[in-house]
Amino acid sequence: MRSATEEFADRGYEAASLRAIARRAGVDSALVHHYFEDKADLFTATLEAPLRPDRAITVILAGPREDVGTSIVRYLLEQLEEQKAQARIVAILRTAVGSGPGSRMLKEFLVREVFQRLAAASASPDADLRANLAAAQLVGVMMTRFVLRLEPIASTPTEELVRRVGPVVQWHLFGTGQPLPALDVAVPTSE
C-alpha cells in the first residue's frame, strides 16, 4: 500500500499506473491486479475511503434519469450515517480542500471517475459546468453537515435533505426536475 501511496503522491492519480506501482513495490503487476480490480480500486483503498463514488455513479446512472439527483444525494448521506464513515470522509474532505499531493490526487480521481461520467450523462454543451455545479452542491452539503456541523443541516433527517437537495442536483445535471416552491420568508432589512 505504501508504494501505491507514494506513486499517487509523486505522479498524481492520472499519471500513476498499476504497472508503475508494482514496479515501485518490487512485485509483478499481475499481483497488484490480483488484489485490486483497477486503479480506482487501489486508490480508494489507499485513502481508506468509506464509499466508492465511482461505482455508485455507474449504478445510479443506469437507473431512471429523473431520479439521478435524488439518488446521488441519498447515496452520499446514507453511506455517511455511520460515525466511522463520517470521520473518514471528514479527513478526506480536509485533504481535498488543502494543498499538496493529496488534494491533487483526490481532484484527479473525482474528475476522471465521477465528474466526467456525470458530464457524459448530461450530454449538453455545458456538461462539464453542469457536473461541477452538481458536485459543488454535494460537497457543500457534506462540508456543512459533517465537517462544520452547522445547524440545522447537521441534524436534518436524511430524507428531508434528499427532498430538498436532490432536485437541485438534478437541475444542475440535466436542467430538469421540479425545484421547491419559494418559501415566504421575510428578509431582514438593515436600518
| Co-location of 61 and 43 in the same domain | no
Mean pLDDT estimate for the chain: 85
Predicted confidence (pLDDT) per residue in 37-65, tens digit: 888 888 878 877 777 888 889 999 999 99
| Co-location of 71 and 163 in the same domain | yes
Q: Nearest Cα to 116, choosing from 105, 103, 129?
A: 129
Model pLDDT, residue 73: 96
Q: What is the pTM of this model?
A: 0.76
| Co-location of 97 and 145 in the same domain | yes
Q: Which domain holds residue 88?
A: 50-174
For helices 127-142 and 158-174, the axis angle rounded to 10 degrees is 160
- 103: exposed, middle or buried (C-beta count within 10 Å: 0-12, 13-18, 19+)? middle
| Co-location of 33 and 114 in the same domain | no
Model pLDDT, residue 75: 94
| Co-location of 56 and 122 in the same domain | yes
Residue 168 belongs to a domain with what CATH number? 1.10.357.10
How many domains does the chain fold into? 2
Model pLDDT, residue 190: 57
Predicted confidence (pLDDT) per residue in 92-136, tens digit: 888 777 777 777 888 888 888 888 999 999 889 999 999 999 999
Model pLDDT, residue 186: 53
| Co-location of 40 and 55 in the same domain | no
Q: Which residue has the cell 474532505?
A: 93
Model pLDDT, residue 92: 82
Residue 33 belongs to a domain with what CATH number? 1.10.10.60
Predicted confidence (pLDDT) per residue in 125-168, tens digit: 999 999 999 999 999 999 999 989 999 999 999 999 999 999 99
Predicted confidence (pLDDT) per residue in 166-184, tens digit: 999 999 999 976 555 555 5
Rg (C-alpha) for the chain, rounded Å, is 19
> If you ran DSSP here, which 8-state letter would residue 48 be given?
T
